[in-house]
Amino acid sequence: MTGKNAANRGRWWAAYSIAAAADTIAAGAGRARIRRFTKPALMPLLAVAGGAPRVAVPIAGSWVGDVALMTKSDAGLLGGVAGFAAAHVAYLRELHRIRPRAARRSRVESVTAVGFAATTAVAGAAIWPRLADRPALRLPVLGYACLVSAMGQAAVGTGTRIGGPDGRRLALGGALFVVSDALVATSMFGGDRRRMVDAAAMATYTAAQGLLTHALVARSRTMAEGQP
């Protein structure tokens, strides 16, 4: 990447960071009108900042999910689940592609596998009775919870095996995505919606997306250059 291209990418990353901060603040303040502009802008800005076709599908799926969830309807929730499910499948494919085959499973990977499985089980047990009057949502929501946990675990496993800054970004990004979706579930199905929970969900979500995108693009570039 030339110096000029790197500078341009830096500006787009700054724009994404500003939009992420603005949307997080708006979520915490309950400013729904502002979020009509800030939230849909997040993934297009990230796509330009990343600047690689490898991350286009997960970012596009996430944009569909972001926009669908803004409706706060059952149909919107199903649309959000579908969009983010497509994003996580794409992330899983990319993580499998860059995952070192020879590296051994780390202790961190084993611990997070248990932690993510337990989180999914607890979340499922809590959400299931709260969807008694919306049975059509039960299986899609719980299936999505399993999928995001699988993606988070794949990111942690791949990241710990790669090591270095890119590996740490992958691992942290995957973990934060699981945390973010747990916060979203708490906000949507935990009774009264709390603005600070919404803000925390957006802060962890935008950080997760940024970390995953940055790490996947950097790792793909390293592999293309023939480096280990």
Long-range CB pairs of 32-39 (<8 Å, 24+ gap) are 35/70, 36/70, 39/66, 39/67, 39/70
Task: Quote the pTM value.
Answer: 0.91
Any domain includes 121: yes
* Cβ–Cβ under 8 Å, residues 171 and 155: yes
So what's the pLDDT on residue 189? 82
Any domain includes 9: no
* pLDDT at residue 2 tops 70: no
Q: What range defines the domain where residue 161 resides?
A: 53-224
Any domain includes 24: no
Any domain includes 142: yes
So what's the pLDDT on residue 148? 96
Any domain includes 16: no
Any domain includes 63: yes
φ/ψ (deg, to 5) at 67 = -70, -40
For 126-168, write each residue's pLDDT tens digit: 888 888 899 999 999 999 999 999 999 999 999 999 999 999 9
For 60-109, write each residue's pLDDT tens digit: 999 999 999 999 899 999 999 999 999 999 999 999 999 987 667 778 88
The count of domains in the chain is 1
Any domain includes 30: no
